[in-house]
């Protein structure tokens, strides 16, 4: 029996048991692309490269990337002159690893571009149904107790193209790149509201940003008091301008644009404000032409980021199938992977560091010997939610609206090794 | 009884029970700096700032900081012409939040500066006591199974100035900034060694970098097989040049320079190589003039980052005392804070997301009414290690060497609100 034959099969079409990722047997296999074999006399015969022969520049104040990684960037559509500053850019999921997205590569969605805010001239006003209206400067807020939480953020328009009639020839980035993960630090909004004093009967909070669109969203007070932050820091440093500097609302697990950026106004009342972006946008039209409004939590979801659309497998052998999973309802407990279009499934290995409403990295080894394959992943969270397939979503809500799509992504691998987006 | 009097005291000189950070009572107090009180007719009378009146620039490929946060930078010493490219830069701990350090602000330590490596010309050679010497290109390694882990990294020279005879007038950054936290993704070195085939009797691995110093360290094979990575990604993106691009060793919990950057050679043998940086440097001379060699794991440690050295408290009232804790032996289980120079202690609140050998953020409320105070923090890990005070360390090992200092930091707060480094 060869070493390859001794691997524990976990599901059809080449999926290997995840325990082989834990140091129990991939070694000696040429796991992916074996290193170059050296002769005994060759082992130290490499010429010393130029960069090893002289000193380089010393420490710096603020580091930059290697020019050799400049190809890794967000993907933005062409500017629309009728919609200045509007649009989105998508995280390069297929080129990233782990669960934290660098701030420079976190996805963006703007309704009137990025305002250049001087924090000294910015105020956060809390009024409406409160005992005492208050205004906070940035400096005021910096002195408050804060909390740090690792969470995903996902635009509700993410992946919506998969409801289209025919599958686009896209990448993990172009189809799913409106999701990212970060450690957010800020003040519990409940603490600020306690200072203002919430009046009996208040049940909604309307949040407005200081951008040119005055983008606004209404959020139930129960969620605000549960876990909503006024976020000031992302991955340790102050927010970037495109993420809401100097402050944004952060609404864990809910659709991205409820986390209002450049937050300047919170008004308490008894009803939602019926802002543009909760009426004409971000609502889901159903087959009977009625609309679902306020679909807040993002669904239980996963996507395989490698191999993924427009990649090519260049040799036969063992690969690591990896991707990210998340759920607006809680913590990812399990991700299953199929290599045969859903006929059989195997559990992927989840990274050990997991937070509620955060990205979770999954991995599973896969032996590809040049055969056709369809790779799928399916996430399950700790509330029992299971990621549905595309057909289930189509049957339930049709495709008149493309928000809140959280169905499975299927990637076809051809005998030529090319990977493409397909429907199964 | 006023609201302030109703707060549960946790220890002397103003420390408040951590449960008040969990939404149980700080509200309504003017927690830190209360917001400006607004009259009813004033609440909406703010003039719309210029940035709210027009659209801003749209999405971008790779984001940058706000110019208003440019003051946040690493702190590097002056270049030394006799030691080109050598030196260190320190993370601005007092200006950061959470537990993840942005890659641009992660501390650096170089022995001959930063080599400008083209990954296409870089090789990782594994030889010595192996069945089959191997050479890996960067592309080879990208195809291997990876794992992601959140870990701290600390230079063994961090905080060493606190063994000096008199306390320097420093900041959290200048004294303790040679520690940072990140999510590292890479290949388990055990997997690569399994391909090469470790020969019976091998017990040490010598690792050498491709920098101009050919910086080398020897590491016991047992640690290598336990949890050491060949890291390729930091916080989701490829390593930065100053962190070892295209690849570095990552040795969780151990002194920073064992995590050899720009890794190009791993040689297995039966003994350490006695490199310069494990003989004349990074060893601890004891009072009897003998030296401790190979002090690998970093100690159980914490530091209050706010309030901290050279800050000033500008008003009386409630403050949040916050900082970071870490241990090379395991996971932080508890951090105690004192406001009276160690006479009494209170448990701080720990952030919920915790990983082994990673930074942990702690916080506790503190009521400062203009009195003298000495703030201390003391970390305890899940192996039972307790952070010692400075005098205990001096008594045990003297101060002939300043590596591996993990004693407590004491910050004195004067009646004028100024904070400074002191010895207690």
pLDDT in tens, B31-69: 444 567 776 556 555 678 999 999 999 999 999 999 999
Give the span between the Cα atoms of A363 and A348, in whole angstroms.
5
> With the C-alpha atoms ordered B245, B249, B254, B257, is the resulting torsion angle positive or negative?
negative
Chain A residues with CB under 8 Å of B228 CB are none
Q: Tell me how close the Cα of A215 comes to any Cα of chain B, in angstroms.
A: 10
Q: DSSP state, A151?
A: E
> Which chain A residue lies closest to B360 (C-alpha atoms)?
A148
Mutate to test the interface with A, among B45, B51, B95 (most CBs of A within 10 A): B51
Q: Tell me how close the Cα of A167 comes to any Cα of chain B, in angstroms.
A: 26
pLDDT band at residue A355 under the 50/70/90 scheme: confident
| Partner residue opposite A56 with nearest CB, options B57, B113, B320 | B113
Q: Tell me how close the Cα of A290 comes to any Cα of chain B, in angstroms.
A: 33
Task: Assess contact for A411 and A421: CB atoms under 8 A.
Answer: yes
Say yes or no to pLDDT of B157 above 80: yes
Average pLDDT, integer, range A252-273? 98
> Which chain B residue lies closest to A99 (C-alpha atoms)?
B236
Q: Does A352 contact B353 at a Cβ distance shorter than 8 Å?
A: no
Q: Tell me how close the Cα of B73 comes to any Cα of chain A, in angstroms.
A: 5
Task: Say how many residues make up chain B.
Answer: 424
Q: Tell me how close the Cα of A266 comes to any Cα of chain B, in angstroms.
A: 11
Chain A residues with CB under 8 Å of B34 CB are 134, 140, 195
Chain A residues with CB under 8 Å of B191 CB are 23, 26-27, 31
> Which chain A residue lies closest to B51 (C-alpha atoms)?
A115
Q: Tell me how close the Cα of A291 comes to any Cα of chain B, in angstroms.
A: 30
Q: Does A353 contact B61 at a Cβ distance shorter than 8 Å?
A: no
Phi, psi of B401 (to 5 degrees): -130, 150
Residue bearing the bigger pLDDT, A35 or A228 = A228
The per-residue pLDDT for A32 is 45
The per-residue pLDDT for A353 is 79
Chain B residues with CB under 8 Å of A17 CB are none
| Partner residue opposite B140 with nearest CB, options A33, A55, A355 | A33
| Helices and strands (H, E) in chain A, number of each type | 6, 25
- Mean per-residue pLDDT of chain B: 93
pLDDT band at residue B246 under the 50/70/90 scheme: very high
Each residue's pLDDT tens digit, A365-384:
999 999 999 999 999 999 99
> Which chain A residue lies closest to B121 (C-alpha atoms)?
A49
> Which chain A residue lies closest to B119 (C-alpha atoms)?
A68
Chain B residues with CB under 8 Å of A322 CB are 146
Q: Does B56 contact A143 at a Cβ distance shorter than 8 Å?
A: no
Chain A residues with CB under 8 Å of B114 CB are 56-58
> Which chain A residue lies closest to B56 (C-alpha atoms)?
A113
Task: Assess contact for B328 and B359: CB atoms under 8 A.
Answer: no
Q: Does B195 contact A136 at a Cβ distance shorter than 8 Å?
A: no
The per-residue pLDDT for B147 is 95
Residue B8 Cα distances to B5, B24, B374, angstroms: 8, 10, 21
> Which chain A residue lies closest to B190 (C-alpha atoms)?
A23
Q: What domains can you pick out in chain A, each with its CATH number? A: 119-170+178-292 (3.90.420.10), 301-422 (2.60.40.650)
Average pLDDT, integer, range A190-199? 95
Q: Does B60 contact A242 at a Cβ distance shorter than 8 Å?
A: yes
- Which residue is listed with tokens 């939480």? A149
Residue bearing the bigger pLDDT, B127 or B43 = B127
Task: Assess contact for B153 and B108: CB atoms under 8 A.
Answer: no
> Which chain B residue lies closest to A354 (C-alpha atoms)?
B353
Say yes or no to pLDDT of A25 above 60: no
Give the span between the Cα atoms of B230 and B146, in whole angstroms.
9
The interface predicted TM-score (ipTM) is 0.95
Q: Tell me how close the Cα of A296 comes to any Cα of chain B, in angstroms.
A: 24
The per-residue pLDDT for A87 is 94
Q: Does B56 contact A112 at a Cβ distance shorter than 8 Å?
A: yes
The per-residue pLDDT for A44 is 54
Count how many Cα atoms sit within 13 Å of the Cα of residue B238 in the half-sphere of its side chain: 23
> Which chain A residue lies closest to B21 (C-alpha atoms)?
A145
Task: Assess contact for B60 and A242: CB atoms under 8 A.
Answer: yes
| Partner residue opposite B98 with nearest CB, options A137, A148, A240 | A148
Say yes or no to pLDDT of B288 above 60: yes
Q: How much of chain B, in percent, has pLDDT values that exceed 70?
A: 94
- Closest by CA position to B133, among listed A35, A55, A114, A349: A35
Average pLDDT, integer, range B282-301? 94
Q: What is the pTM of this model?
A: 0.96
Chain B residues with CB under 8 Å of A44 CB are 125, 127
The per-residue pLDDT for B27 is 54
Say yes or no to pLDDT of A169 above 80: yes
Say yes or no to pLDDT of B161 above 90: yes
Say yes or no to pLDDT of B293 above 50: yes
Chain A to chain B Cβ contacts (< 8 Å): 443
Q: Tell me how close the Cα of B244 comes to any Cα of chain A, in angstroms.
A: 10
Q: Does B69 contact A23 at a Cβ distance shorter than 8 Å?
A: no
| Partner residue opposite B132 with nearest CB, options A37, A127, A322 | A37
Chain A residues with CB under 8 Å of B116 CB are 51, 56
Each residue's pLDDT tens digit, A339-350:
999 999 999 999
Chain A residues with CB under 8 Å of B321 CB are none
| Partner residue opposite A237 with nearest CB, options B69, B143, B232 | B69
> Which chain A residue lies closest to B352 (C-alpha atoms)?
A149
Q: Does B133 contact A23 at a Cβ distance shorter than 8 Å?
A: no
The per-residue pLDDT for B40 is 59
Mutate to test the interface with A, among B64, B66, B134, B146 (most CBs of A within 10 A): B66
DSSP B242-295: GGTTT-EEE-TTB-GGGS-SSEEEEEEESS----GGGTTSS-EE-TTS-EE---
Give the span between the Cα atoms of A88 and A107, in whole angstroms.
7
Phi, psi of B367 (to 5 degrees): -100, 110
Residue A15 Cα distances to A6, A322, A346, B176, B351, angstroms: 13, 12, 7, 47, 37
- Closest by CA position to B245, among listed B110, B418, B67, B146: B110
Q: Does A147 contact B351 at a Cβ distance shorter than 8 Å?
A: yes
> Which chain B residue lies closest to A126 (C-alpha atoms)?
B43
| Partner residue opposite B62 with nearest CB, options A73, A96, A117 | A73
Q: Tell me how close the Cα of B286 comes to any Cα of chain A, in angstroms.
A: 31
Give the span between the Cα atoms of B234 and B200, in whole angstroms.
34
The per-residue pLDDT for B45 is 54
pLDDT band at residue A40 under the 50/70/90 scheme: low
């Amino acid at each position: 029996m060869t070493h390859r034959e001794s691997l524990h099969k976990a599901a059809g079409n080449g999926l290997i048991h995840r325990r082989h990722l834990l140091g129990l047997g991939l070694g000696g296999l040429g796991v992916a692309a074996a290193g170059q074999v050296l002769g005994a006399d060759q082992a130290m015969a490499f010429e010393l490269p130029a960069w090893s022969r002289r000193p380089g520049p010393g420490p710096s104040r603020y580091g930059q990337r290697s020019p050799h990684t400049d190809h890794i960037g967000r993907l933005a559509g062409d500017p629309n002159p009728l919609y200045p500053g509007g649009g989105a850019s998508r995280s390069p999921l297929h080129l990233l690893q782990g669960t934290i997205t660098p701030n420079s590569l976190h996805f963006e969605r703007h309704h009137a571009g990025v305002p250049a805010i001087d924090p000294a001239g910015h105020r956060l006003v809390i009024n409406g149904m409160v005992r005492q209206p208050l205004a906070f400067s940035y400096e005021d807020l910096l002195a408050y107790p804060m909390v740090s939480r690792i969470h995903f953020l996902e635009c509700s328009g993410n992946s919506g193209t998969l409801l289209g009639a025919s599958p686009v020839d896209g990448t993990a980035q172009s189809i799913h790149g409106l999701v990212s993960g970060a450690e957010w630090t800020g003040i519990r909004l409940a603490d600020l509201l306690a200072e203002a004093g919430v009046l009996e009967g208040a049940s909604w909070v309307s949040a407005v940003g200081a951008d040119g669109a005055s983008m606004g969203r209404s959020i139930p007070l129960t969620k605000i008091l549960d876990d909503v932050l006024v976020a000031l820091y992302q991955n340790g440093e102050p927010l970037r301008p495109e993420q809401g500097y100097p402050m944004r609302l952060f609404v864990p697990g809910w659709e991205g644009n409820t986390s209002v950026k450049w937050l300047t106004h919170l008004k308490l009342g008894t009803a939602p404000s019926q802002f543009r972006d909760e009426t004409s946008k971000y609502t889901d039209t159903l087959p009977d032409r009625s609309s679902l409004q306020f679909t807040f939590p993002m669904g239980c979801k996963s996507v395989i980021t490698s191999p993924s659309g427009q990649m090519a497998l260049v040799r036969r052998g063992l690969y690591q199938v990896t991707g990210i999973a998340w759920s607006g309802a809680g913590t990812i407990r399990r991700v299953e992977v199929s290599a045969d279009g859903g006929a059989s499934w195997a559990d992927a290995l989840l990274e050990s560091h997991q937070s509620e409403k955060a990205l979770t990295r999954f991995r599973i080894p896969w032996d590809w010997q040049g055969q056709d394959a369809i790779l799928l992943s399916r996430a399950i969270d700790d509330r029992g939610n299971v990621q549905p397939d595309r057909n289930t979503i189509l049957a339930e809500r049709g495709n008149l609206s493309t928000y809140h799509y959280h169905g499975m992504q299927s990637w076809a691998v051809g005998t030529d090794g090319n990977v493409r987006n397909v429907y199964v």
